[in-house]
């Protein structure tokens, strides 16, 4: 059919120019030499002025990593990565951590301004908080991570008053070593997998959140990651601990400049929810996806896992993945506490030559644990997308329930979508439901919208957003709007 051909051709036309976050910032960098060995691990640890136990922890991870192999089971393909050909430490050169706006490199501020993240209120950056009632929308505290280093965290005072700790993890190592030591690696062990081991050895920064007993975090917390430097890997480490009856909503966003070469991003996120605690973790991932021929783009190999340790605790992952050349990511929940709840809501968009292998793992250990998985996959161009999900029910998890819904939407006929569910139930009484659908944006739908005056692009945006609605409505309000726009931009040129 002619329109389908046109759609496909238009998808192919989508090139670099459509990635709107592709600028590079000219900033003085402090760079470690290329390569990875024990000396580099020691250098990172020394730069961060870390205690001995952490250096040992890193070295253990590094030695384990050396004996591990890159996983090959995911449905993604890429040339071998030379792990010696990257810098493992890159930091914007600056004086001792910025305490006020004047100390933040103005180039950096400009970058964040261009990105339009809530940092732009200069007053916030300086730590001068607006008087009560002066913000039209609820404030969001932001931790901005530039290459490997956290450059600024806003709203710290308000949070401190509530008892919430929100700071770069490197700082938490100094200020709250007992907390970090207790929980770091407790959800994702150092040798959990190849990329997690690599991250454990060389992570440079990331966010740390601690919400004490009974506290509802008074505002959304958000981390903004940006890769800027050339040939650097980014290995951030996030650790969120929420005590009994406490709750937090956390959002991370990410972008990177356009580069011809591929850049490696291997993050680890660990969540710990105690009794009656709840953690909502939302991601809007928009790393540079590479150009239309598949040149450049971020390799996104991420390990995210949450432990529902306490009874009735709840962890909810929501992700909107539009970027990266390759995405390898399975945010998981270990449902240990009786009656604990795990949720995974995902939208993964691939266009051009992007590849995504993403999904979740729900491990039911406690009684009456419940999990919900809603995964929406959208493929366009020559891209390939796989949902891979595991639901495991342990023998003691009586009354466990899972509901999984996987829907794929194809745009054009050169892309692929695959659903790979693994179900392992060792408890006869568990209830596991799985539903899957695959559909195309039909020419009928497009024509109907266009007859009503919508451009083809707006029509695709509307239909795609409709397709993703069950996931988008899980995002915090402010970010839902942003995510909707991002979906449309990611598919820009996929028609007309």
DSSP per position, 423-450:
EEE--TT-EEEEEEEEEE--HHHHHHHH
Q: x/- binding map, residues 405-444, to other proteins, per CB under 8 A?
A: -------------------------------------xxx
Q: Pull the structure tokens for residue 378.
A: 């959208």
3-state secondary structure of 127: coil
Q: Does 454 bind other proteins (CB under 8 A)?
A: yes
Q: Does 1 bind other proteins (CB under 8 A)?
A: yes
Strands 29-31 and 90-92, bridge-based pairing: antiparallel
Instruction: List strand residue ranges (DSSP E) for 7-50, in order.
Output: 29-31
Of 3, 68, 81, 101, the residue at the interface with other proteins (CB under 8 A) is 3
Q: Does 28 bind other proteins (CB under 8 A)?
A: no
Distance CA 351, CA 293 (A): 11
Q: How far is the CB of 484 from other proteins (least distance, A)?
A: 11
Distance CA 459, CA 483 (A): 17
CB of 281 or CB of 467, closer to other proteins: 467
Q: Does 453 bind other proteins (CB under 8 A)?
A: yes
Residue 321's beta-bridge partner residues?
Answer: 285, 348
Site of tokens 């009586």: 398
Contact 425, 394 (CB under 8 A): no
Q: How far is the CB of 410 from other proteins (least distance, A)?
A: 15
Q: How far is the CB of 136 from other proteins (least distance, A)?
A: 17
Of 220, 252, 456, 482, the residue at the interface with other proteins (CB under 8 A) is 456
Number of residues that bind other proteins (CB under 8 A): 27
Q: Which of the ranges 42-50, 304-312, 354-362, 455-463 carries the binding residues for other proteins, by CB under 8 A?
A: 455-463
- CA atoms 195, 200, 203, 205: torsion sign: positive
Q: Which of the ranges 30-38, 190-198, 204-212, 445-453 carries the binding residues for other proteins, by CB under 8 A?
A: 445-453
Site of tokens 């810098």: 87
Q: Which of the ranges 67-75, 122-130, 295-303, 448-456 carries the binding residues for other proteins, by CB under 8 A?
A: 448-456
CB of 196 or CB of 463, closer to other proteins: 463
Q: Which of the ranges 38-46, 131-139, 330-338, 452-460 carries the binding residues for other proteins, by CB under 8 A?
A: 452-460
Q: x/- binding map, residues 458-487, to other proteins, per CB under 8 A?
A: x---xx-xxxxxx-----------------
Distance CA 18, CA 323 (A): 12
Q: Pull the structure tokens for residue 277.
A: 């605690």
Distance CA 388, CA 433 (A): 16
Distance CA 451, CA 446 (A): 9
- Residues 346-375 contacting other proteins, CB under 8 A: none
**What H or E segment, with its residue span, contains residue 195?**
helix 194-202
Torsion of CA 319, 180, 311, 471, to 10 degrees: -10
Q: How far is the CB of 373 from other proteins (least distance, A)?
A: 18
CB of 426 or CB of 473, closer to other proteins: 473
Q: Pull the structure tokens for residue 82.
A: 């030379």
Q: Which of the ranges 15-23, 45-53, 158-166, 447-455 carries the binding residues for other proteins, by CB under 8 A?
A: 447-455
Distance CA 375, CA 360 (A): 9
Q: Does 80 bind other proteins (CB under 8 A)?
A: no
CB of 109 or CB of 375, closer to other proteins: 375
Of 433, 447, 481, 485, the residue at the interface with other proteins (CB under 8 A) is 447
Binding site for other proteins (CB under 8 A): 1-3, 6, 442-445, 447-456, 458, 462-463, 465-470
């Amino acid at each position: 059919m002619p329109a389908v051909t046109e759609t496909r051709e238009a998808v192919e036309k989508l090139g670099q120019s459509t990635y709107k976050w592709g600028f590079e910032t000219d900033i003085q960098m402090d760079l470690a030499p290329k390569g990875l060995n024990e000396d580099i691990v020691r250098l990172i640890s020394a730069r961060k002025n870390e205690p001995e136990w952490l250096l040992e922890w890193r070295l253990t991870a590094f030695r384990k990593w050396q004996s591990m192999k890159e996983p090959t089971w995911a449905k993604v393909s890429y040339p071998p990565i030379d792990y010696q050909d990257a810098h493992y430490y890159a930091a914007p050169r600056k004086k001792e951590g910025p305490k006020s706006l004047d100390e933040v490199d103005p180039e950096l501020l400009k970058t964040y301004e261009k990105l339009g993240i809530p940092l732009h209120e200069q007053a916030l950056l300086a730590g001068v908080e607006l008087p009560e009632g002066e913000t039209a929308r609820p404030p969001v505290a932001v931790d901005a991570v530039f290459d490997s280093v956290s450059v600024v965290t806003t709203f710290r005072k308000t949070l401190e008053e509530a008892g919430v700790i929100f700071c770069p993890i490197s700082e938490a190592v100094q200020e709250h070593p007992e907390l970090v030591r207790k929980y770091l690696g407790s959800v994702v062990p150092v040798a959990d997998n190849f990329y997690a081991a690599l991250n454990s050895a060389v992570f440079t920064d990331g966010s740390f959140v601690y919400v004490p007993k009974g506290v509802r975090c008074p505002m959304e917390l958000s981390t903004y990651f940006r890769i800027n430097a050339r040939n650097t890997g980014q290995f951030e480490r996030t650790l969120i601990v929420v005590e009994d009856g406490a709750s937090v909503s956390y959002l991370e966003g990410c972008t990177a400049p356009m580069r011809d070469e591929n850049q490696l991003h291997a993050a680890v996120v660990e969540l710990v929810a105690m009794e009656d605690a709840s953690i909502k973790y939302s991601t809007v991932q928009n790393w540079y996806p590479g150009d239309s021929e598949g040149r450049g783009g971020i390799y996104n190999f991420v390990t995210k896992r949450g432990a529902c340790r306490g009874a009735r605790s709840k962890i909810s992952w929501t992700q909107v993945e539009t970027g990266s050349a390759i995405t390898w990511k399975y945010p998981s929940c270990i449902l240990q506490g009786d009656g604990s709840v795990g949720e995974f809501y995902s939208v993964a968009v691939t266009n051009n030559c992007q590849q995504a292998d993403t999904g979740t793992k729900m491990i039911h250990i406690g009684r009456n644990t419940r999990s919900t998985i809603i995964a929406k996959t959208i493929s366009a161009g020559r891209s390939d997308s796989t949902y891979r999900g595991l639901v495991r029910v342990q023998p003691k998890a009586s009354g466990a329930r899972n509901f999984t819904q996987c829907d794929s939407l194809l745009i054009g006929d050169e892309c692929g979508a695959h659903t790979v569910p693994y179900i392992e139930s060792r408890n006869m009484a568990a209830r596991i439901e799985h539903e899957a659908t695959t559909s195309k944006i039909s020419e009928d739908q497009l024509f109907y919208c266009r007859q009503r005056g919508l451009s083809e692009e707006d029509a695709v945006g509307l239909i795609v957003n409709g397709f993703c609605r069950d996931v988008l409505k899980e995002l915090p309000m402010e970010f839902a709007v942003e995510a909707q726009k991002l979906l449309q931009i990611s598919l820009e040129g996929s028609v007309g």
